[in-house]
């Protein structure tokens, strides 16, 4: 066997090994999938529901943290999220981002809400986002406040995202969300900790629409134009 033949043989073996490794890496964790499917099914059967939560913002490079209390009402693609300085409304057709202190509200299409903090840009999507554009794995089980929770990591296929991992902590008994974390590449961590979950909450169409007449002196900025 010539040196050239030997070289090509080695290259072929390396190619086969690399392709095999890529195939294994691309496989999804079947145990994680079972949990995520039940997690999504539980949310779907609970619509509309209200969540009271604590939001923790941590910036490791700046050594800065901030904690706020918030709530969110979700009915499939419709939601209303309330934080001290921000209120977000979405009726499935229009997305309103109301900056309370600035007295400004920005209108956009829901599909254009591309903020990397998924919970704040598309909270309803957290229950089904694993179906597309993510790899996932069951990291294990944890005991939090005498409750056992699953820890599942999701990794975006799109490597241009500002975050590298989304962590879901799901109650083992109820399959309800306990905590969600978004870990950014620059050392910023967004943590949503659920304080209460209220399924079957009564809602009306008005709950998901921002009405300028209810907010004197508000400036409306329509970014869809």
Question: What is the pLDDT, as a whole number, of residue 125?
Answer: 83
Question: What is the pLDDT, as a whole number, of residue 8?
Answer: 37
Which string of DSSP letters, residue by residue, matches the chain?
--HHHHHHHHHHHHHHHHHHHHHHHH---HHHHHHHHHHHHHHHHH-SEEEEEEEEEEETTTTEEEEEEEEEEEETTEEEEE-SSEEEEE-SS-EEEEETTTTEEEEE-GGG---S-HHHH-GGGGGTGGGSSEEEEEEEEEEETTEEEEEEEEEES-TTSSEEEEEEEEETTT--EEEEEEEETTSEEEEEEEEEEETT----GGGG---GGGSTTPEEEETT-
Question: What is the pLDDT, as a whole number, of residue 115?
Answer: 55
Question: What is the pLDDT, as a whole number, of residue 114?
Answer: 56
pLDDT tens string, the chain, 225 residues long: the values are: 554 444 334 434 333 333 333 333 456 999 999 999 999 999 999 999 999 999 999 999 999 999 999 999 999 989 999 999 999 999 999 999 999 999 999 999 887 765 556 777 778 788 998 998 899 999 999 998 889 999 999 999 999 999 999 999 999 999 999 999 999 999 999 999 999 999 999 999 999 999 999 998 999 999 987
Q: Which CATH architecture has domain 28-222?
A: Clam (2.50)
């Amino acid at each position: 066997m010539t040196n050239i033949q030997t070289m090509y043989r080695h290259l072929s073996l390396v190619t086969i090994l690399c392709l095999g490794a890529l195939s294994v890496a691309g496989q999804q964790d079947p145990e994680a999938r079972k949990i995520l499917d039940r997690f999504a099914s539980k949310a779907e059967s609970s619509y509309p529901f209200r969540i009271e939560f604590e939001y923790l913002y941590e910036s490791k490079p700046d050594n800065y943290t901030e904690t706020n209390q918030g709530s969110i009402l979700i009915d499939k693609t419709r939601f209303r999220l309330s934080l001290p300085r921000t209120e977000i409304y979405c009726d499935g057709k229009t997305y309103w981002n109301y900056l309370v202190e600035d007295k400004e509200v920005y209108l956009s299409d829901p599909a254009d809400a591309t903020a990397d903090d998924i919970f704040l840009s598309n909270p309803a999507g957290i229950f089904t986002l694993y179906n597309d554009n993510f790899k996932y794995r069951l990291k294990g089980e944890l005991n939090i406040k005498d409750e056992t929770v699953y820890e599942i990591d999701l990794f975006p296929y799109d490597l241009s995202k500002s975050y590298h991992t989304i962590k879901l902590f799901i109650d083992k008994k109820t399959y309800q969300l306990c905590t969600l974390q978004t870990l950014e590449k620059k050392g910023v961590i967004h943590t949503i900790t659920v304080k209460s979950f209220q399924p079957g909450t009564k809602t009306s169409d008005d709950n998901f629409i921002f009405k300028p007449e209810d907010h004197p002196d508000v400036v409306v900025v329509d970014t869809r134009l």
